[in-house]
Amino acid sequence: MGIFDYAPAPESRAIANLKPHYRPFIGGEFVDGSGEPLKTVNPATEEVLAEVNTASTADVDTAVKAARRAYDRVWSKMPGSERAKYLFRIARLIQERSRELAVLESLDNGKPIKESRDSDVPTAAAHFFYHAGWADKLDYAGLGPNPKPLGVAGQIIPWNFPLLMLAWKIAPALATGNTVVLKPAETTPLTALVFAEICQQAELPPGVVNILPGAGDIGASLVEHADVNKIAFTGSTDVGKLIQRQVAGTAKKLTLELGGKAANVVFEDAPLDQAVEGIVNGIFFNQGHVCCAGSRLLAQESIVDELLAKLRHRVSTLRMGDPLDKNTDIGAINSAEQLAKIKGLVESGESEGAQRWTSPCPVPDKGFFFAPTVFSDVHQSMRIAREEIFGPVLSVLTFRTPDEAVTKANNTPYGLSAGIWTEKGSRILWMANQLRAGVVWANTFNRFDPTAPFGGYQESGFGREGGRTGLEAYLDV
């Protein structure tokens, strides 16, 4: 124990306004789904939070019909300036209920409250504000005259940023005049169902937004449904490939935002202390459950020892524990399944000869936790350098020259994001042009803004979300 032990400072879980039962949201009403009910679990304690009634294939059809009706009768005919009013209203309601949403998100997902409070929920609101502004200006988005919505959008989102990914999907779809059937992830359905309440509060016309909790089979039947015009998916590359096969040969438009194995490249002239911050933020933000996480650190050989010493000191100050504690930096891994996957890859790193260092921070007895881990002496041929771990595990590789840095950074089937750390502006511009990644951060990492398009190359998917470019994915242009 240290001399300055921070007393527990937990956010009250009562704020989450947790209910024992949650139900699907179809046609503006909460209805009984006919699927098998699922129990959603708090990954920090393994206790059941609530029972969630799920949708069946028949419910998918009902929801798509509701969305179609809302599209034909109301939403596609409504002037953009009127649609904008609903989006502004939703954005304000997210802000009003931000504490409730933040606590509920941390309970259901396991992420630290400081992240759900300071990042997820405010950014979700920002996406609605931003897209509300576009709703009546689509003619001027540079996508051609009078761009038309596509119709009904089927959207499937992952468990790592449940509310934020919902906002990334729903805000542009509604702004451009589409209606939505969204399936939240099986392990994190709660904030999406509170969002459904917000749609009711905002008096959004029934059927414009439908939310169907369920497992992968519900996602599959949504993808297969004949009356869906657009599929937007964020999740694993494997499922993304399945979806692409399913929609092949149909008229459905598709955008995929999949995995990543981002390189965070640190040159010897980098601002080292801030690079350490960026590395930590890049891989330990949200327990590393981030598709654009900076999971491969590429450090110039001349500074690797100094950088690693600084990094280990910094990582050992990260506080792991109760996600609701305001001082927690690292929360719980979202599920036992994900924890097992992380452990498996970490074992492969050890058996393949990489040097493992794990933070000496205390690990809670209950719940799914994995202490921040840094592997050095990692080589391109190892699994931990190639496969997405999706956990708080960093692989450190080295390079000698800028060309080698580019080659190694690009040597991955993925291409979602990358980071460059150097005080030399010309090198930043040169590198950014060479890197095959949808987002390139310079002297920072994991910064998100609704105005900036986000998306990948190769196995990281296609299509962009956010910004003017992101509108195109929901418009017939």
Partner 1 sequence: MTATTATSPQTSAAETPLPPALQDATRDDASLRRFLRGLPGVDQVGVEQRAAGLATRSIKKAAKLWAIDTAISMVDLTTLEGADTHGKVRALAAKAKRPDPDRPDTPQVAAVCVYPDLAATAVEALEGTGINVASVATGFPSGRTSLDIKLADVKIAVDAGAAEVDMVIDRGAFLEGRYGQVFDEIKAIKAACGPAHLKVILETGELATYDNVRRASWLALLAGGDFIKTSTGKVSPAATLPVTHVMLQAVHDWHAQTGELRGVKPAGGIRTTKDAVRYLVAVHEVAGEQWLTPHLFRFGASSLLNDLLLQRRTQADGHYSGPDYVTVD
48 counts as binding partner 1 under rule CB under 8 A:
no
State the alpha helices, DSSP H only, in 135-271: 162-175, 190-201, 216-224, 237-247
96 counts as binding partner 1 under rule CB under 8 A:
no
294 counts as binding partner 1 under rule CB under 8 A:
no
Residue 459 phi, psi (nearest 5): -75, 0
Q: Which residue type does 426 have?
A: S
289 counts as binding partner 1 under rule CB under 8 A:
no
Only one residue has tokens 């997820």, namely 120
- Say how far residue 214 (Cα) sits from the centre of its chain: 18
Total residues binding partner 1 (CB under 8 A) = 25
CB of 285 to partner 1, least distance (A): 11
Q: Which two tokens stand for residue 7?
A: 């007393």
Instruction: Tell me how far CA of residue 205 lies from CA of 78, 87, 340, 438, in angstroms.
Output: 11, 12, 43, 35
CB of 377 to partner 1, least distance (A): 22
Cα separation, 393 vs 374, whole angstroms: 6
With vertex at residue 52, the alpha carbon angle to CA 226 and CA 92, rounded to the nearest 5 degrees, is 80
**Given strand 355-358, what is the order of strands in its sheet?**
355-358, 373-376, 393-399, 296-300, 263-266, 417-421, 439-442
CB of 271 to partner 1, least distance (A): 4
380 counts as binding partner 1 under rule CB under 8 A:
no
In eight-state DSSP terms, residue 74 is I
* The one segment of 1-9, 35-43, 354-362, 433-441 that binds partner 1 by CB under 8 A: 1-9
Residues marked active site are found at 257
CB of 190 or CB of 293, closer to partner 1? 293
Q: Which two tokens stand for residue 304?
A: 């690797």
Cα separation, 440 vs 443, whole angstroms: 10
Instruction: Tell me how far CA of residue 12 lies from CA of 99, 118, 276, 325, 363, in angstroms.
Output: 10, 16, 32, 9, 22
Q: Which of 278, 367, 392, 466 binds partner 1 (CB under 8 A)?
A: 278
CB of 278 to partner 1, least distance (A): 7
CB of 242 or CB of 272, closer to partner 1? 272
* The one segment of 4-12, 85-93, 343-351, 385-393 that binds partner 1 by CB under 8 A: 4-12
Closest alpha carbon to 409 in 387, 431, 384? 431
* N-terminal to C-terminal alpha carbon distance within the chain: 62
363: which residues sit within 8 A by CB, 6+ positions away? Answer: 320, 369, 371
Q: Which of 272, 361, 432, 477 binds partner 1 (CB under 8 A)?
A: 272
- Say how far residue 416 (Cα) sits from the centre of its chain: 12
With vertex at residue 243, the alpha carbon angle to CA 237 and CA 248, rounded to the nearest 5 degrees, is 125
* The one segment of 265-273, 345-353, 374-382, 390-398 that binds partner 1 by CB under 8 A: 265-273
In eight-state DSSP terms, residue 73 is I
CB of 327 or CB of 469, closer to partner 1? 327
Largest CA distance in the chain: 66
Q: Which of 80, 205, 271, 467 binds partner 1 (CB under 8 A)?
A: 271
- Say how far residue 141 (Cα) sits from the centre of its chain: 26
2 counts as binding partner 1 under rule CB under 8 A:
yes
Q: Which of 192, 270, 346, 382 binds partner 1 (CB under 8 A)?
A: 270
274 counts as binding partner 1 under rule CB under 8 A:
yes
Q: Which of residues 297-326 bind partner 1 (CB under 8 A)?
A: 309, 317, 326
CB of 445 to partner 1, least distance (A): 10
Q: Which of residues 416-455 bind partner 1 (CB under 8 A)?
A: 423, 443-444
Residue 433 phi, psi (nearest 5): -75, -25
CB of 421 to partner 1, least distance (A): 9
CB of 57 or CB of 443, closer to partner 1? 443
CB of 456 to partner 1, least distance (A): 25
269 counts as binding partner 1 under rule CB under 8 A:
yes
CB of 277 to partner 1, least distance (A): 5
Cα separation, 376 vs 356, whole angstroms: 7
CB of 241 or CB of 447, closer to partner 1? 447
410 counts as binding partner 1 under rule CB under 8 A:
no
CB of 274 or CB of 401, closer to partner 1? 274
273 counts as binding partner 1 under rule CB under 8 A:
yes
CB of 134 or CB of 267, closer to partner 1? 267
Q: Which of 114, 127, 296, 408 binds partner 1 (CB under 8 A)?
A: 114
241: which residues sit within 8 A by CB, 6+ positions away? Answer: none
Q: How many residues does the chain have?
A: 477
CB of 124 to partner 1, least distance (A): 19
Q: Residues interacting with partner 1, by CB under 8 A?
A: 2-9, 114, 118, 269-274, 277-278, 309, 317, 326-327, 423, 443-444
